[in-house]
A = this chain, B = another copy of it.
């Protein structure tokens, strides 16, 4: 080994997940939206002037920040945007979790919380979900350096009512509490309405699921002006120009089309309702999902076996080979046609 290799940061090498491509395949493995972005996004693309690309984008991303502020009825100084919610969350870890005390998040939760904590050398503890995969708010009352959890949680899909979120906030007045609402637009109630009461609350959102824009990479955080200023200070010390011109223009267009947004999220929720009935008939059980996926296990056949069988059929779902999750499949809600193909195959395979 060369001596210069000693200075390289040690991380657990991460291998990006499977991104199968092909015409016939059904991709229900990464919680993407089965519908295209809003029609206004296409118009914004068509109207984009490539001459402007030679200039730097607005570092403050003002057009997007302002359209989100208007959408959520908050001040423009309460919105921070980033390259997907992963960028917002990583920046939040770097900015807010510096006490030396352990940050708390559920043992079954978004897998990147642990990755960021390890990257930045932040200690952490992971209180266990209960037997029904629910967060025990009591576990978040101990001394800590910050709290973060998804709501609805992933990969369970379970939504925690706001009175419970409030309990966690009330027990954590001295640290920053982050509610990661990547899946909130599929029927949950947002913690945004608690913002006026808790200056230490940051709510994080993404355009990747409910707005069908995973390919454009837009996420954002909403919180008190003090939190947003701190995030911006760190962001400007890292990379002043993170949001490129296409993402700003396309993002604004996506926020504008409320009717399309409601229609497509509504369709996904209807398909999910149907999926709960059909999957139950097929012998699956699952927590009552409020997200665009269902976390299902079968009464008779092991999840990994079903996963492999589906894959042979070119139907991709997500399988986690890890304790507590290893007999579950995370199935993204696709179009009705895609789901019918899934039920049909499962009916034959399990029947």
| B-binding residues in A (CB < 8 A) | 2-9, 11-16, 19, 27, 30, 32-37, 41-42, 45, 48, 50-60, 83-84, 86-87, 90, 94-99, 115-116, 118-119, 145-146, 173-176, 199-200, 208, 212-217, 226, 229-230, 233-234, 236-247, 250
Contacts and interface: CB of A to CB of B under 8 A. Distances in A.
A243 B238 CA distance: 16
A222 B24 CA distance: 37
Contacts of A86: 238-241
Given A116-B237, A200-B4, A95 B9 contact: yes
Given A56-B19, A173-B4, A250-B53, A11 B83 contact: no
B56 A208 contact: yes
Given A19-B58, A41-B50, A237 B84 contact: no
Contact of A9 (B15, B208, B230, B245): B230
Given A37-B54, A215-B244, 9 more contacts: A4-B200, A6-B99, A7-B99, A32-B55, A33-B54, A53-B214, A57-B214, A86-B241, A90-B238
Given A53-B37, A216-B244, A240-B14, A7 B98 contact: yes
Nearest to A231: B8
Given A98-B8, A146-B7, A176-B4, A233 B13 contact: yes
Contact of A14 (B50, B118, B237): B237
A19 B62 CA distance: 12
Contact of A11 (B59, B96, B175, B233): B233
A16 B234 contact: no
Contacts of A239: 83-84, 86-87, 90
A213 B242 CA distance: 13
A241 B226 contact: no
A215 B94 contact: no
